[in-house]
């Protein structure tokens, strides 16, 4: 992935975070999929900003943030992310 591709995806995460901000928290009335998307975008917004700024981030720390959101929402999607094949593999 080149810098422009990464930046585009990071900007999309930032926009999704803003659009779904009203669905954060453990008791909003939105469907669980909307709440999970809001929390996933919120969990990764600092990492997205790092990419936008031309920096990097720790994948392990990002996965910990996602796991924290899962605990609050009683969901499990980080296993899919952890199992995703790496380009270096």
Q: What is the pLDDT of residue 50?
A: 96
69 assigned to some structural domain: yes
88 assigned to some structural domain: no
Q: What is the pLDDT of residue 85?
A: 57
DSSP run (H or E) holding 35: helix 32-43
Domain with 36, as residue range(s), is 3-83
46 assigned to some structural domain: yes
Please count the structural domains in the chain. 1
Decide if 22 contacts 28 (C-beta within 8 A). Answer: yes
Rounded Cα–Cα distance for residues 4 and 51 (Å): 10
Question: Using one digit for the tens of pLDDT, what is the confidence trace for 14-65?
Answer: 999 999 999 988 677 888 889 889 999 999 999 999 999 999 999 999 989 9
89 assigned to some structural domain: no
């Amino acid at each position: 992935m080149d810098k422009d591709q990464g930046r585009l995806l990071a900007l999309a995460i930032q926009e999704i975070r803003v659009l779904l901000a009203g669905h954060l928290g453990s008791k909003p009335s939105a469907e669980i999929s909307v709440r999970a998307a809001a929390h996933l975008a919120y969990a990764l917004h600092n990492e997205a900003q790092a990419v936008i700024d031309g920096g990097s981030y720790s994948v392990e720390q990002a996965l910990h943030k996602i796991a924290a959101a899962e605990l609050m929402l009683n969901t499990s999607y980080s296993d899919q992310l952890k199992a995703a094949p790496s380009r270096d593999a």
